[in-house]
A and B are shown apart, each in its own frame.
Chain A
């Protein structure tokens, strides 16, 4: 029995190595807690890079501060672990300097929606070609369990022992409202689904907003748990047309966790295309709104 088990593992390792996505990982071990949803996200991200055949040296990852902020340390690429809340401007700077690079911005809910929340509307309207991975676990994990901008109302946290008095933000709704040209919500437990959407997002010429819902197994035992997410998981209806902005908005208003591609406007010009002078409002659907 034991021998059989080992050989199964060896086989699996060989299988993974052949798949190649391990090439996108560093030897550094992630500092995340066992059972954290971020492992799954990482897994999907490297798989997407592999699927797209991106060269390591042509990938730049800029991150903020927080559990998600550590991500570049674990990925074999040019990584920039910056300061709290500023992954978006740094990633934008990289992309503006080097059109040839694939640029990711990575941050948690506190990073992207809290301290760095001011950058979101502007990256959305500028449509600079970067992919934003918002790792949303609805809690400040690295500082040990304080309320974040997406913590549900009345949830008890280490900063709100009487329950969170603040109404949470709705990230997908915000991104749509700000005019992001690619908006999706992913579930950290669904690696295949994430890989699929990440691949599309990275290929999108413009700003892609990926709201990735993940549980924090250490500091949230009540609300965003694996169990509750699995039970409530709903996929975007197969009939949904991602180019239908109003339908996307309607879905985003739904309080239930709906996962999948909400909105995609492939015709909208990126910031650099606009800079190059092909500026006409007709080119962009979003401006008709």
Chain B
């Protein structure tokens, strides 16, 4: 029995079945009991529009990050795959089409770019696909067949997996996919002498993965929204959040909800705030540019104390930035975007599981605390596919958050009563006797515009005070590793936390006393937990995918000590290796 931890990348053009091949592979591996983390990307800067890469990390042990380098690259299209070679391990493997219809110039062929140390296996993908199905469409399945032959994957089980993937299609589609797979499998078995050490045979596996869902961050967000009683989703298409809208457009009406595609992000958040005012759960999902447009109305939600949830799947910025790359640079705007002192709740899930948890929590907190809740995802988390245990049913308590006024309270109803907790009972339109007006102007307890200094001071304090209790409702911050004498304490947030955890575990194996602190709740910050962690650490490292160290800057006044930073804006998820290097450097 051995352990397996292999990263496979399939690279080709959109429309060549690149992504679906990756999907089949991931699903199959999941069904076999492997843990998977997959990530499809569509780099937009590539010459020859349409490059896409299906990246899958497959292991029989827990996967915490996508893995920096691929072990196996399947090149469905040479031109695209050449630019993918730098992310292949030094001793990685390339499977390529060794019988294209025409001669390629040497720099156009991936075989000419393979580095010493890499192993290449040529398979006549096109020829076999044509043999199997009479057309070129099955090249992806031929490649998967070759993969199965080369790395000792159970071909019969894999065929069953292909069959179920295309179960709803016509028989001819199923057959041609299966035949293509078979051709690739047999040809490779017969013609290729394996000279690499990778294998999926004799791996110690979990018993069953049947209770596992294969979902990405965006799907988890949508599922959480559906399970949490979302009534209205308003949105404007923007990468990488669009998928959430697409899913909800299909699923929300089945639950009696509405998905509306608006003319812009301003209208989207306007609809959300309107629906929140009217007493229904509503949210929108966007990315940095859309979020920028939304800040004014998001601020209104804070001021007028109306529930509103915004999912911001971050991409590279500023401005239109790098739409298909991942980054964590919208923390500042999420924490304080808009005018004035504008407290709000910010949640940053660190995993796909937490995307589900985070969104249901967000909808609850927004309703209960009558304010804006921002959920920060990023391009990677949105598109990162995991086979996770089926989400737990939503905490029932979270399904109903609004605190309605009592009959007595309605007699002399003060919508913005300055209570001890800061939360004022909220009447929903339709409630007789609860009529009030709310406004973006500073206002009295009754909601009437009122600007005197005492009112503005007291009401500002109330708005800050009321969200503090969210700390006690959100999941506790995670402290992993030793509890004292920590030489390097890593504080990570969002999707970087997974890589940080992997790095910390590796560092511990090297004898470094490292530990990790991460919290899904970013604002209000569970500051006590962070301070406690900080006190147990000699040095603190904050790795994050932005240039200015936004989270480190946010933490600094709470921790009141020097913070080491690791900032990368390469557009790629931060790898465990990158963080480990920094930990080693700091430990010395």
Contact = CB atoms under 8 A, between A and B. Distances in A.
25 contacts: A28-B448, A56-B432, A60-B278, A62-B274, A73-B437, A76-B435, A79-B438, A80-B437, A80-B438, A81-B437, A81-B440, A81-B441, A82-B440, A83-B300, A89-B274, A90-B271, A90-B273, A93-B272, A93-B278, A94-B274, A94-B277, A94-B429, A96-B274, A119-B270, A272-B258
Contacts of B279: 97-98
A195 interface: no
Given A83-B297, A97-B232, A119 B263 contact: yes
A72 B262 CA distance: 25
A93 B275 contact: yes
A126 B273 CA distance: 19
Given A57-B429, A98-B279, A93 B263 contact: no
Range of interface residues on chain A? 35 or more
Contacts of A95: 274
A93 B435 contact: no
B412 to A, nearest CB: 14
Contacts of A62: 274, 277
B393 interface: no
Nearest to A100: B430
A126 B268 CA distance: 14
Interface string A90-116: 111111111011000000000000000
Interface string B261-304: 01110111111111111111010000000000000110010001
A55 B275 CA distance: 20
A186 interface: no
B429 A73 contact: no
A97 B274 contact: yes
Nearest to B258: A96
Interface of A: 26, 28, 55-58, 60, 62, 65, 72-73, 76-83, 86, 88-98, 100-101, 118-119, 121-122, 126, 271-272, 275
A95 B274 CA distance: 8
B433 interface: yes
Please name the 5 residue pairs, one residue from A and one from B, whose CB atoms are nearest each other, closest first.
A93-B274, A89-B270, A79-B437, A97-B275, A93-B271
A78 B278 CA distance: 9
Nearest to B306: A80
Interface SS of B by simple majority = mixed
B253 interface: yes
Contacts of A81: 437-441, 449
Contact of B270 (A56, A92, A100): A92
Contacts of B513: none
A98 B448 contact: no
Contacts of B466: none
Nearest to A75: B437
Contacts of B234: 93, 96
Contact of B263 (A26, A101, A118): A118
A93 B232 contact: yes
A155 to B, nearest CB: 30
B436 interface: yes
Given A79-B435, A90-B271, A96-B260, 19 more contacts: A57-B434, A60-B277, A62-B274, A78-B429, A79-B438, A80-B277, A81-B438, A81-B439, A81-B449, A82-B439, A82-B440, A89-B267, A93-B234, A97-B274, A97-B275, A98-B429, A101-B429, A119-B263, A275-B258
B462 interface: no
B431 interface: yes
B392 to A, nearest CB: 28
B263 A121 contact: yes
A79 B275 CA distance: 13
Nearest to A87: B270
Contacts of A91: 274
A55 B437 contact: no
A77 B435 contact: yes
Nearest to B234: A93
Range of interface residues on chain B? 35 or more
Interface in B448-500: 448-449
Nearest to B263: A122
A98 B275 CA distance: 8
A88 B266 CA distance: 11
Contacts of B271: 89-90, 92-93, 96
A145 B496 CA distance: 53
A56 B435 contact: yes
A92 B274 contact: yes
Contacts of B273: 82, 90, 93
A138 to B, nearest CB: 25
A78 B430 CA distance: 8
B429 A119 contact: no
Interface in B239-270: 253, 258, 260, 262-264, 266-270
A91 to B, nearest CB: 6
Contacts of A98: 278-280, 429-430
A80 B276 CA distance: 12
A76 B435 CA distance: 7
Contacts of A77: 435
Nearest to B259: A275
A123 to B, nearest CB: 9
A100 B432 CA distance: 14
Contacts of B441: 81
B231 interface: yes
Nearest to B296: A83
- Most B CB contacts (10 A, CB to CB) among A56, A58, A90, A98 go to A90
A46 B180 CA distance: 73
Contact of A57 (B258, B268, B431): B431
B436 A79 contact: yes
Given A76-B435, A122-B267, A60 B429 contact: yes
B270 to A, nearest CB: 3
A69 to B, nearest CB: 9
Contacts of A100: 430
A122 B263 CA distance: 7
A124 to B, nearest CB: 11
A118 B264 contact: yes
B270 A86 contact: yes
Interface in B541-580: none
A98 B258 CA distance: 11
Contacts of B258: 96, 272, 275
A119 B267 contact: yes
Contacts of B429: 57-58, 60, 78, 94, 98, 101
Given A93-B232, A96-B232, A101 B278 contact: yes
Contacts of A56: 432, 435
- Most A CB contacts (10 A, CB to CB) among B263, B270, B276, B439 go to B270
Nearest to B303: A83
Contacts of B282: 93, 97
Contacts of B275: 93-94, 96-97
